[in-house]
Structure 1
């Protein structure tokens, strides 16, 4: 048992008059116990028989007898305290760096357990014993062992700092409270300590909360960086794909241009080779004729020369080569035409590739949307999974609900969005009319509802099987041939953007820009009336295939 534990158990054996362990303990009729000498002196000084504890009066002074049982217990207690103190002192170790050493120890200084504000010294367990047992020392104020005890004393009055001045927010001694801080408000140090400790605990809780918020922010930043990396990787992959296609087109155009030029050059060379061959053939014939002429010129036979001359002259080549030439092929405009053709090819390629890349970009914000039955017009039928809706000719009896559309065959998604970006896809295949988009949570659901942004609707719609329109500032006809089988809806809340896509063609249908969103937005659907079965196909909220591949890519990274 430690000295502190001994002190707590010792309270049962203290005389309330001398505040020391019982000496010759006696019991008086009210049941309280005192040292025999203490109670005797108390009655002698007060000249009346009264219990110091409960104030009970006795008509006659009781005869005092030593309570042998308490006396034996006290004696046993004293022996145990001495034995345990001795045992504990032998187990103590020398004070380590940073620990408070005992001021009384000589040689090896043991670790101090308590410091006395009155004695201004710190004590190990052995040297602390007098403060725990001796009557005069027990009244001293003990605290946990600390260094710099001088700092706990008033420098002006050399008294312990026991009070806290509320006015000056400083620790003072008893004399300070009546001399230097007169009329100030004081509280015991412990009371102020408890208050300040409570403030510290509150501050600590606030700090921990701030730390948690910053850790959460770090996590959000890391998540943003992760998402940014995923987006960057996708953009790089799309860029590589697009520019690879561009490079292939350029290389192909260059090859075709070079082949065209080389083909022209080859044709020219073959033409020249033919002419050269003909000319060489005639040169050969002329050389042969020249030889014959030379031989004939040496004949002296008049008759033979005249007879041979006419035949020789008739056999001469007659072709006129004056106007014959090889015209180099014209290359003027060849490169220009090739570049124009390449531009047209690239334009077609970009028209196909860039919308695909844009669609993939918005598909990464896909969300899970389900239909809200509480908003459904009574003529609408929903699937069990909340992903399909169509119009029936039978009106259901439903409870009156302020959220429900009553005039038009409309329904909202359960999910609402007031920040960020989101995207969903809806199959419209087989329908002759429908409405799709997003709507403010606060829209009118009972009366006539023009589907305009001013009324809280951002939508596109189909009528008569092939008439696509939207309503911005004015009605805008949309040329969609062929029409989409699946429509994607993308919203960027902060940017004020609502875009619609033909998913199959990876083409942009229409965009609302510069919108100012201040309310929650819900996905908006209307399968419209079934027109006797012509428009009976449901609107189907579809899973976004691109989302799954993107998420896997992010997880792998």
Structure 2
């Protein structure tokens, strides 16, 4: 940014209204930049751009040009620094051009000043001080003005000594008279001492500057990480709410479907009954017609012959007991809401678990096993990603790092509170009825019996048969809905947190909270004994799939 702003002159950063460097620059719809207060006051009069005169029907909306604002801020900062440096040079170490006192006509620039002669010389007039024996002993310095200031006011002699007692400059006569019992050193000696102190001060200031530059980078990195985390959290939140919204839509569609099916069933039932009734009406009308015709007939024989057939009313259904009952839609809605609530609770828990797992998976690290720590009965693969128990105890050096009592091994990588102070890795436990892993501190006992508790430096979980435990203090029996095939381990050093996740189910297994970490932490693994082949499967460190 500074390189860009340096390419532009001050004119590029001046508001065309107030003619001063921009304050809170904003952009108009036509693309021109003005101070926010300037353009606001201008638009109180008319809605035209002061530069291009483009008119607007209504008061335009002002936007902040982020890049341009940063350039203006950088320009202001750069200009301020230049002004400060200029003032500093003018008041402190600004070199002065001293003219030769012996040049006639045009005065040449002095090359040196003589503290004995109390005069300044150009290169030509200085030559005798290098050739004449009496002048060779004179003390020459870089050219300075007011050489009289370097003479003792009282004795008229050069100030050649430094009085340590009074912390002042004195001449040879002062040392013999006014400062007789004081401690003196030549100016050169005091100069050397003070120069050493100034060098130390310079180094100290440079160190302070560097520390502040580093702090600026830390703050910038912190802000960047905060912004990235916020964006990621927002993205995950949008994803969760979109998923929940889909479930709501699905629940509403199910309600439409359920009520629609009930309405359709009622309609079909009613249509069937109406059809049946209409058929009976048709049959009754036909019989009624036949009865009417016979009744109006004068044929005695026909009436008597038809009488037995027409006397009886055709058989029909007893419709007094038949009704169409409308279904209760209140229970339908209530049932749908209950089902939706259960589904949403379950899905929300699942989505939150997935979001939480994705969050910690961002801190995935590449963990490998350290053969220098492995118990002699453990077998490590060449890539140091798998460990299993063997029946044979190998003849290995019993170095201080190696576990000699239990079948343990550590990861090669250690982790501390340094940035980002968090790490995550995953372990496949499929096919193993026994295992133990987590994290431990560096100083754990590696040679004798230990209690695997947080106070001893262990933060682990284990499986024994079908029983899962968190080896807290006291141990916690874990009730899991499914048997994890792959377990994730997440550690936040600064928060004092160690969490274990069922990766496939995206569910939290257990968390150690309020932990106190004061030293390096190492990933810890124990495949346990192979039990005659029943527990021969290895613990496997798996690469982390962040799309889980």
**Could you state the TM-score of these two structures normalised by the residue count of structure 2?**
0.66
- Which residue of structure 2 aligns with residue 488 of structure 1? 488
- Which residue of structure 2 aligns with residue 449 of structure 1? 450
- Which residue of structure 1 aligns with residue 516 of structure 2? 516
Structure 2 residue ranges without an equivalent (≥5): 1-93, 274-321
Shift of 1:436: 0.9
2:235 to 209, 234, 237: 237
- Which residue of structure 1 aligns with residue 161 of structure 2? 163
- Which residue of structure 2 aligns with residue 427 of structure 1? 428
Shift of 1:265: 8.7
- Which residue of structure 1 aligns with residue 473 of structure 2? 473
CA distance in 2: counterparts of 1:530 and 1:134, whole angstroms: 98
- Which residue of structure 1 aligns with residue 537 of structure 2? 537
1:108-149: per-residue Cα shift (whole Å, max 9, x none)? 221111112233322222333444445655554332211232
CA distance in 2: counterparts of 1:153 and 1:266, whole angstroms: 118
How many positions carry a matched residue from both structures? 415
Shift of 1:205: 2.3
Q: 3-state DSSP class of the match of 2:498?
A: strand
- Which residue of structure 2 aligns with residue 181 of structure 1? 179
Q: Alpha carbons of 1:147 and 1:270: their partners in 2 closer, same or farther (altered >3 Å)? A: farther
- Which residue of structure 2 aligns with residue 351 of structure 1? 349
Q: Alpha carbons of 1:326 and 1:130: their partners in 2 closer, same or farther (altered >3 Å)? A: same
Shift of 1:515: 1.8
- Which residue of structure 2 aligns with residue 403 of structure 1? 401
Q: Alpha carbons of 1:122 and 1:203: their partners in 2 closer, same or farther (altered >3 Å)? A: same
Q: Alpha carbons of 1:499 and 1:118: their partners in 2 closer, same or farther (altered >3 Å)? A: same
- Residues 96, 144 of structure 2: 8 Å contact kept: no
1:119 is aligned to 2:117: yes
1:104 is aligned to 2:102: yes
CA distance in 1: counterparts of 2:205 and 2:370, whole angstroms: 42
CA distance in 2: counterparts of 1:211 and 1:390, whole angstroms: 53
Shift of 1:380: 0.8
Shift of 1:175: 2.2
Shift of 1:101: 1.6
Shift of 1:526: 0.8
Q: 3-state DSSP class of the match of 2:372?
A: helix
CA distance in 2: counterparts of 1:164 and 1:437, whole angstroms: 69
CA distance in 1: counterparts of 2:269 and 2:432, whole angstroms: 65
- Which residue of structure 2 aligns with residue 373 of structure 1? 371
CA distance in 2: counterparts of 1:400 and 1:227, whole angstroms: 44
- Residues 398, 404 of structure 2: 8 Å contact kept: no
- Which residue of structure 2 aligns with residue 437 of structure 1? 438
CA distance in 1: counterparts of 2:123 and 2:192, whole angstroms: 28
CA distance in 2: counterparts of 1:343 and 1:263, whole angstroms: 22
Q: Alpha carbons of 1:385 and 1:330: their partners in 2 closer, same or farther (altered >3 Å)? A: closer
Q: How do residues 280-295 of structure 1 correspond to structure 2 at under 5 angstroms?
A: none
- Which residue of structure 2 aligns with residue 280 of structure 1? none
Shift of 1:508: 0.7
CA distance in 2: counterparts of 1:388 and 1:332, whole angstroms: 59
**Could you state the TM-score of these two structures normalised by the residue count of structure 1?**
0.65
**Residues 125-134 or 354-363, more deviating:** 125-134
Q: Alpha carbons of 1:463 and 1:110: their partners in 2 closer, same or farther (altered >3 Å)? A: same
Q: Alpha carbons of 1:140 and 1:433: their partners in 2 closer, same or farther (altered >3 Å)? A: closer
Q: 3-state DSSP class of the match of 1:375?
A: coil
Q: Alpha carbons of 1:477 and 1:106: their partners in 2 closer, same or farther (altered >3 Å)? A: same
Q: Alpha carbons of 1:132 and 1:350: their partners in 2 closer, same or farther (altered >3 Å)? A: same
1:413 is aligned to 2:411: yes
Q: 3-state DSSP class of the match of 1:373?
A: coil
**Residues 428-437 or 221-230, more deviating:** 221-230
1:388 to 374, 386, 389: 386
Q: Alpha carbons of 1:269 and 1:101: their partners in 2 closer, same or farther (altered >3 Å)? A: farther
1:497 is aligned to 2:501: no
1:228 to 226, 237, 246: 226
- Which residue of structure 1 aligns with residue 211 of structure 2? 213
Q: Alpha carbons of 1:198 and 1:326: their partners in 2 closer, same or farther (altered >3 Å)? A: same
1:469-488: per-residue Cα shift (whole Å, max 9, x none)? 22222232222343111111
- Which residue of structure 2 aligns with residue 49 of structure 1? none
- Which residue of structure 2 aligns with residue 460 of structure 1? 461
CA distance in 2: counterparts of 1:260 and 1:158, whole angstroms: 116
